[in-house]
Each structure stands twice: as C-alpha cells, then as structure tokens.
Structure 1
C-alpha cells in the first residue's frame, strides 16, 4: 500500500465490509508478546525457546508457508485475476516484468549474488515498513518532513536488522557487531525522532499508531540483539501480512460478496465457501504446493525433456518474481482513485 495513498476521505457507505484502524492497531500486540516470551524464556527456562527455534525463519517450512509468500501470492492473484485491473495497469506490469528479467535474471550473470540479495533485502524492508507507516499516516497526520524522517529511520534500522538476521552465518564477528551497532544507532535516533514528532500528532489513534511503528522496529532490534532471530522477523512479518490480507479480504467481500462475476468466486459460492476465505485459502494452498513440490516438479520435467535441472526454479525464480511484482504494484494499486480502491472503506478511526 502506498504511503501517500491511504486517506480517510475515500469511502463509500455502500460497501459492506471495512478495514478497521482499531483492528490494524491491535495487530501490534504481537510486539510486547514476543518481548514477554523472550524474558520468560531467558529468566525462567534458560533460553530453551531460543535453542528450539530455527536460527533463521527461512529454515522453518511452516513459517514460509504461513508468512511472507502467501500474501505475495494473494496479491498477485487478486491483481492478475481480474481482467479490468490487468487492463488498467498493463503497461506498468509489462515494463516491470521486463525490468525484473533484465536486472535480476540476465544481471545475475554479472552482478554478484550478495549484491542482488542486499538489493532485494532493502526493497523487502522498505515495502514492509512503508505499508505500515503509510497506513499510520492517515491517523498521525504528520507533516511530510516528520513522516519521511520516521519512515527512513525505520527503514534504515530495519535493513540492518534484516541483514544481521539473514546473513549472520556469513558475517565475521566484527561485521556482525558493526551491523548491530549501526542498527542500534538508527533505532535510538528513531526513538528520539518519535518523541519529537509526537507533539505534532492529534488525539485518538494517532499517538498509539506512531509509537506502534516505532516499537515494532525498536523491539525487533532488541530481540535481534538477544539472538532471538526468529522472533525478530516474526513481529513485522505478522503485522505486515495480516494487514495486507485485511485489504484483500475487504476488497473481495465488497466486490464479490453479493453477486460474484468472477468464476472462482462463483464456484466458491456454489460450494457455500465464504468469499472472505477464498483468497486466503487459495494462497496458503498454493504456497504449500510451490514450496514443497514446485522445484522437484520443474526438475522432473527438465530432466525428462532436456536432461538438466534448474536451481530453485520455483522457490527462487517464480516466487522471487511474484515478490518483486508485489513490492512494485502495492505501491500504487491501493492509492486513492485506483480501480481496486473503489472497494475499500475504513472504520474505527
């Protein structure tokens, strides 16, 4: 979702379901819960939880099936599954596809993998935090300089936390320490900046949203510094993904709830499957199938036809393409005046 696109003026009383700001704010409860879990584990169970959890979320299949990839697939299904949306953004979709093929496909033959990974990591963090700050902007009503200082300090700290978590096995102790220190400095600056910006935020949900985004980053740094890497990624991942699904489900209910014109939703209606469950169920199912069987199925075909294998054609190639498209398209498809935004209204402000 675009940082500039979430506004309160665009709504319709004819829409059945709304995106609740109170619900979105409640998602941040995962932050104190993870910190509490850390303290209980540290002081009560001698780090048993930390030792049990995988050192990286990517090593845990269930995490990959539940977080990250499903909402990426859901986003692409929603966009590419509607001919009117594809028609509205056809040129942008074709252009971005060609760019991804050229830069990440052909470019991978010349650009070191570590460079491509860092670029992807930066884009991932920017996408995640821009969504959260973009939504909060509607209730915080910060001036542009304050909003962007909050956003970029959060993104800067988030990037170093992300790299510290996912590259820790390839970093020297000195490098890991430097990354932790830079993340700490940026997090401290974010806390100071939030104290200054708080004075410019109106009442209601503004101040809670402002601090929710700040504490999301600050607590991620703290948990990361204590080597609870899984929890450090879980917090922003859960908040981001469920926030995204709230938009997707709201869109589907408001567009297809009463008289679905899309064949998929017509089929779901005939089977008495609630419209709200169609996209989440399909995206989780496809994620499981792709993560579990995708690469092997592709290699079975390429071994049979060409006597060769393609390294992670699905889990890296296809899912990577969908992720990059998701990062790109989410920046404008929910902005005010877009065809998707016609089916979104807000409540609980």
Structure 2
C-alpha cells in the first residue's frame, strides 16, 4: 500500500516513516472507468438487463456496506489497542460509547431501515469531505473555491441519493412541470460544477493533485449518469469503494509507521502468531463478517444490521476526531 520511505519530522526513531503514494490514491479511482465499462458492455450485450437485476434491495445494501466499510473500520479500531492512544483519545472514546448507546435507542424507536438510510445519506457527506480534504493535501490548495467545490460535491451526492429514494418509492409522484424545472436546475448545477472543477484543478500546485480533482469530478458525473439510467446500487458503488479503499490505505500507512520499530499496538503482536500482513488480515475478517450476514436468516440479519449501524455511527464520529490536524494519527501518516 506504500512506496519507498522518506525522512520526516514525524519520525520518532532511527527508521524514517513510510509515505503513502498519491499514485495509490489515484489508482483507487480506477473503479470509475471499470464500472463505466461494465455498464457499457452490459448495455451493448443485454440492453442493461443484467445490471437491472441488481435491484434496490435493502438487505443487499447492508451486506455491501458491511463488506466495503468493514476493512477500514476494523483497521481504525486496531489503532486504539495502544496505551498512548487510549489515554489521548479517552474523552473521545467515552463520547463514542454514548453515541453508540443513543444510536441503539434511536433504532428501537424509529427502526433500523430509516436510520440506515439517514446514515447512508450522512456517509455521502463524510465521503465527499474526506476526498476533498485529501485532494487539498495533495494539491497544496486550501482556497475558498476548493471549499465551494467540496460542498458542491456533497450536494450532488446527497440530492442524488434523495432523488434515488423518491424514484424507488411507489407512492411518490412528481408533476411534469416540477420535474422539468428540477432537471434544468440540475443541468445548470452540473455545468457550474464542471467549471469550478477545472478552476480548482488549475490551482493545484502538483500534477497529481490535478488528476485527483479530475478523477473525483468524473466519478460524480458517473454517479449522475447511473441515477439517470436507474441503476441504484451501481450508482452508489463507486463513491463507497473510493472512500473505503482510501481510508483503508491511510490506516495501513498509519499502523505500519506507528509500529515499525516498536510494536506499541497490541493487535500488531498477533503477527507473531498469525504471519499475515494487516492489509490481508482485516479484509479477510470483513469478508467473514459479510458472508455470515449474507447467509443468515432474516432475524439474524436484522441483528447484524443493528450492530453494523451502531458501529458505523461510532466509527464515523471517532474518525472525524482522529484525523484532525495535529492529532496523534496525523503524526504517523504521510502522503
């Protein structure tokens, strides 16, 4: 997941810290052309019959969410099996537990499906903010226009997801004149987004930064196209994959650097028993969890869903704290 190492002020021992290559971050966006190619081939071969078989199924969405998000969520949990981290983040971890309890109570009051949909909607904000933040690191650009670009990305994903829910609700119908007006607004907004993306890309201080801005913009245009041709799960697939693989790469980079000389983390000592690198072990655990959920009955799947939602909410809260500038996690992560 990382390239050759480079000296860094963050290095606390004789060995320099490993730097996460921007090429890895850019390579993750290959899911975008791969997905576009898949849909094009399916359109030519079957007129999208195969793609449309992947219906808007809540249970399948939960399984996909668990499979895709679990590797980086598990990797993030591994970081706290460290005495210094437990002490530093003690207040955050206590609040995290309270948030988990509150989430569980909300599930009992409003149901897991409604809360899951709200969580997915919030995840789009979380994902867009993460990718925009990483782009700012690589481009060296933290201008006001970059912030505008970030919020435009958030709006595209949130509005698209809300429209997706409306389209798949049999009780929802929109008048033709309102639909036309919204379509015009959407076209104008996407045109403005293209202009802002070009300007922000040109402001980048690095060529790799320009490519990352372009890749994010193209992904969001594919997101809109998937909505137009009504492929719900394929629509949300690229943003979720990009977010989770990017986060996973960051956690692996952090965990490798933190424990490169001294194994501070208790989980890192598992390698003495299980000779398996973390970037293999954590996805394997995630696959086992996902397979268990997929093969379980409806009652068991419901319990899995509740656990997945609670842990996801807790993870998002903690992740928002651990990657702030000056944090202990940032000290051991280099791009």
Q: Do they superpose with TM above 0.5?
A: yes
Q: Tell me, yes or no, if the aligned pair for 1:164 and 1:179 is still in contact at 8 Å.
A: no
Number of the residue aligned with 1:329 = 318
> Is the 8 Å Cα contact of residues 67 and 286 (structure 2) preserved in structure 1?
no
| 1:78 corresponds to | 78
Structure 1 length-normalised TM: 0.78
* 1:23 has 2:24 as partner: yes
CA-to-aligned-CA distance 1:118-165 (integer Å, 9 cap, x gap): 642332111111111110001223343112111111101101222333
Cα deviation 1:26-75 (Å, max 9, x = unaligned): 21122122222222222333213323333347526763453134433432
Structure 1: state its 5+ residue gaps.
1-8, 298-310
CA distance in 1: counterparts of 2:310 and 2:209, whole angstroms: 36
Measured in 1, the distance between the counterparts of 2:269 and 2:115 equals 41
**1:340 Cα deviation from its structure 2 partner:** 2.2
Partners of 1:157 and 1:184 within 8 A in 2: no
Match for 2:305 among 315, 329, 336? 315
| Inter-partner Cα distance in structure 1 for 2:59 and 2:186 | 21
Aligned equivalent of 1:303:
none
- For residues 171-206 of structure 1, give each alpha carbon's deviation from its aligned partner in whole angstroms, at most 9, with x where no partner exists: 524289589846555433321221333342234212
Partner Cα distance (1:323, 1:66) in 2: 12
Is 2:63–2:294's contact at 8 Å kept on the other side of the alignment?
A: no
Following TM superposition, by how much is the alpha carbon of 1:342 offset from its aligned partner in structure 2, in angstroms? 3.1
Query: In the alignment, is the contact (CA less than 8 A) between 2:130 and 2:243 conserved in 1?
Result: yes
Match of 1:279 among 269, 277, 282: 282
Question: 1:258 & 1:10 partners in 2: Cα distance?
Answer: 16
2:254 maps to which of 248, 251, 256:
251
CA drift of 1:19 comes to 1.2
Partner SS for 1:223: helix
Structure 1 stretches of at least 4 aligned residues deviating more than 6 Å after TM superposition: 109-115
For residue 5 of structure 2, what is the aligned residue in structure 1?
Answer: none
Contact (CA 8 Å) 1:140, 1:205: kept in 2 or not? yes
Structure 2 residue 191 is matched with structure 1 residue 191: no
Check conservation: 2:71, 2:286, Cα contact below 8 A. yes
Structure 1 residues 229 and 203, CA gap change in structure 2 (3 angstroms): same
* Separation (CA, whole Å) in 1 of partners of 2:227 and 2:239: 12
2:125 & 2:299 partners in 1: Cα distance?
A: 32
Alignment of 1:34-49 (within 5 A): 34-49=35-50
Find the aligned partners of 2:55 and 2:16 in 1 and give their Cα distance.
43
Deviation at 1:250, TM superposition (A): 1.7
Contact 1:10 1:336 in 2 (8 A): no
Alpha carbons 2:81, 2:267 under 8 Å: kept: no
Work out the CA distance in 1 between the residues paired with 2:210 and 2:159. Answer: 26
Asked whether the equivalents of residues 54 and 60 of structure 1 are also in contact (C-alpha less than 8 Å), the reply is no
CA distance in 1, matches of 2:221, 2:150: 13
Give 2:122's aligned residue.
Answer: 123
Alignment root-mean-square deviation, CA: 3.4
Cα deviations across residues 68-108 of structure 1 (Å, max 9, x unaligned)? 34433432x22443343222112122224324534x44456
Are the equivalent residues in 2 in contact too, given 1:290–1:314 (CA < 8 A)? yes
Q: What SS does the corresponding residue of 2:322 show, helix, strand or coil?
A: coil
1:210 matched to 2:213? The reply is yes
Over 3 Å counting, the alpha-carbon distance change for 1:259 and 1:98 in structure 2 is closer
- Please tell me whether the aligned partners of residues 250 and 276 of structure 1 are also in contact (alpha carbons under 8 angstroms): no
Following the alignment from structure 2 to structure 1, what is the Cα–Cα distance between the partners of residues 16 and 132?
Answer: 25
For residues 22 and 258 of structure 2, the distance between their equivalents in structure 1, rounded to whole angstroms, comes to: 21
Q: Name the residue aligned to 1:14.
A: 15
- How many pairs does the alignment contain? 323
CA distance in structure 2 between the aligned counterparts of 1:155 and 1:119, rounded to whole angstroms: 15
Q: Structure 2 length as normaliser, TM-score?
A: 0.81
